[in-house]
């Protein structure tokens, strides 16, 4: 299913939205006002005090979807197709210059299989409350509105080259420029030879979930539910609910970036910056650092594990792991070597837990012990200049190969280990179940 531009009385950009889990109440209000057909009404509708089992955000999403389909605002594509989806975006470097990247993949229906039973691998933990929310939406609407983001190994670049050849010198069927400057392009490819070749190339490969773990697991739960309750013949065949909408991006795509998520510590448990540095000396060497050196660290993907430390008042240091830290991680964590080598794992175990006494999902009485940000400059501002937090950590990005290695061990990475940028649009391509 896709929006029909001829019935929108406005641009396609007015009806799409970010993924539901990054939409704030303020964002929700803006999206509601942007267009009466905006898909926020489907993926994250408003809630009201008078909501009931028969009138709530999920039932209203169903009513919106049915009405929009009847009005022709959303329509099924006539022919089976693959949808090549490309995003061009800018990332500001430590030198102050913006660099342009283009990430390309294909939107498809991926056969569902529970994690651990086949060739689909997660790398993040999921939470029951989030899955219950998405399941109620899927039960009400019987549709996928947002794609799961998957990574497909492509060492020989065959998938990458196949996608590029299909759209060479062809204008996109849809183009959306977001307010942030991200340009989204979509090509609808129905050519039988292309589709057959792509299925042959991608079919036997593993898929690693980059983003959308809750949506994937919810789709598996929904499939089980339908198989138990639906009496339609051929229930175990190629029914729509046996699949989930998936954006598959080659792992070697030059536009595929993982950006770091930095930490600002709200609860240091009365450990001063100097005391912290002294205790950290057991497993790290420390040196004074400039803003520029720490900004460069936030882009560094090679070399020994390092963190940029920012203290309230403005002192800045770089902490570099000592060889002996590997033994400490092995004693503390019953995990694979690949997991123990993650920057975030080392930070959480040897610094946040061992020195500051902070554990995984521990919450303080008034606020979260750790606040996350995607921008290292926010750490400089809120920790170093404004002293809103006693300590802040500027992180390096997790590498793609680390995601794969940890996932293949059947392990989950620590919270906020990866930030795949940019997010995929919801409502660009949808699936009826």
Residue 411 within any structural domain of the chain: no
14-47: burial string, b at 16+ Cβ within 10 Å, e else: bbbbbbbbebeeeebeebeebbebbbbbbbbbee
Residue 401 within any structural domain of the chain: no
Angle at 218 between CA 217 and CA 220, to 5 degrees: 65
Q: Does 236 share its domain with 375? A: no
Residue 204 shares a structural domain with residue 303: no
Count up the domains in the chain and report the number.
2
Domain that holds residue 379: 261-396
Which pLDDT belongs to residue 237?
A: 62
Residue 231's pLDDT is what?
66
Model pLDDT for residues 325-380, shown as the tens digit of each residue: 999 999 999 999 999 999 999 999 999 999 999 875 444 334 678 999 999 999 99
Which of 56, 52, 18, 59 is CA-nearest to residue 423?
18
- Do residues 150 and 207 both lie within one domain? yes
Checking if the pLDDT of 236 tops 90, the result is no
The yes-or-no verdict on residue 20 having pLDDT over 50 is yes
Do 247 and 276 fall into the same domain? no
- The whole-number pLDDT of residue 233 equals 59
DSSP, collapsed to helix, strand or coil, labels residue 329 as helix
Write out pLDDT tens, residues 51-109. 999 999 999 999 999 999 999 999 999 999 999 999 999 998 888 889 999 999 999 99
Q: Calculate mean pLDDT across residues 254-266.
A: 95
Q: To the nearest whole percent, how much of the chain has pLDDT over 90? A: 85
pLDDT tens track for 125-151: 888 888 999 999 999 999 999 999 999
pLDDT of 322 > 90? The answer is: yes
Query: Cα–Cα distance between 53 and 35 in angstroms, integer?
Result: 27
| Alpha-carbon 103 to chain mean position | 14
CA–CA separation, 283 and 330 (whole Å): 13
Answer yes or no: do 225 and 364 share one domain.
Answer: no
Residues 6+ apart with CB under 8 A from 172: 86, 185, 186, 187
Find out whether 124 and 21 touch, Cβ atoms under 8 Å: no
Mean pLDDT of the chain: 93
């Amino acid at each position: 299913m896709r929006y029909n531009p001829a019935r929108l009385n406005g641009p396609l950009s007015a009806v799409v939205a970010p993924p539901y889990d990054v939409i704030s109440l303020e964002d929700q209000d803006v999206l509601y006002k942007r267009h009466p057909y905006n898909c926020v009404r489907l993926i994250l509708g408003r809630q009201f005090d008078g909501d009931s089992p028969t009138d709530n955000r999920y039932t209203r999403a169903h009513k919106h979807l049915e009405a929009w389909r009847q009005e022709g605002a959303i329509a099924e594509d006539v022919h089976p197709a693959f949808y090549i989806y490309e995003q061009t975006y800018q990332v500001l470097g430590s030198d102050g210059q913006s660099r342009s990247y283009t990430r390309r993949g294909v939107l498809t229906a991926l056969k569902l299989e529970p994690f651990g039973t086949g060739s689909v691998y997660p790398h993040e933990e999921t939470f029951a409350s989030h899955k219950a929310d998405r399941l109620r939406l899927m039960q009400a609407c019987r549709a996928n509105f947002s794609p799961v983001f998957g990574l497909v190994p492509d060492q020989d670049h065959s998938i990458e080259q196949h996608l590029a050849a299909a759209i060479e010198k062809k204008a996109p069927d849809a183009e959306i420029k977001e307010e942030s400057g991200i340009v989204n392009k979509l090509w609808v490819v129905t050519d039988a030879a292309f589709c057959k070749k792509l299925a042959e190339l991608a079919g036997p490969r593993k898929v690693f979930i980059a983003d959308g773990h809750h949506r994937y697991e919810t789709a598996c739960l929904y499939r089980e539910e339908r198989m138990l309750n639906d009496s339609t013949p051929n229930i175990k065949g190629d029914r729509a609910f046996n699949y989930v909408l998936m954006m598959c991006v080659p792992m070697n795509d030059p536009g595929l970036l993982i950006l770091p998520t930095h930490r600002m510590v709200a609860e240091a448990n009365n450990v001063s910056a100097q005391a912290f540095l002294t205790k950290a000396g057991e497993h790290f060497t420390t040196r004074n650092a400039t803003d520029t050196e720490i900004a460069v660290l936030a882009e560094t993907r090679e070399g020994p594990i390092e963190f940029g430390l920012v203290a309230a008042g403005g002192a800045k240091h770089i902490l570099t792991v000592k060889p002996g830290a590997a033994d400490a991680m092995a004693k503390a964590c019953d995990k694979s070597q690949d997991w123990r080598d993650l920057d975030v794992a080392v930070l959480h175990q040897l610094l946040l837990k061992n020195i500051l006494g902070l554990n995984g999902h521990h919450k303080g009485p008034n606020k979260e012990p750790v606040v996350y940000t995607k921008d290292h400059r926010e750490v400089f501002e809120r920790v170093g200049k404004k002293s809103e937090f006693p300590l802040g950590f500027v992180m390096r990005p997790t590498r793609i190969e680390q995601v794969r290695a940890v996932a293949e061990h059947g392990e989950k990475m620590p919270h906020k280990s990866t930030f795949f940028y940019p997010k995929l649009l919801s409502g660009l391509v949808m699936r009826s179940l």
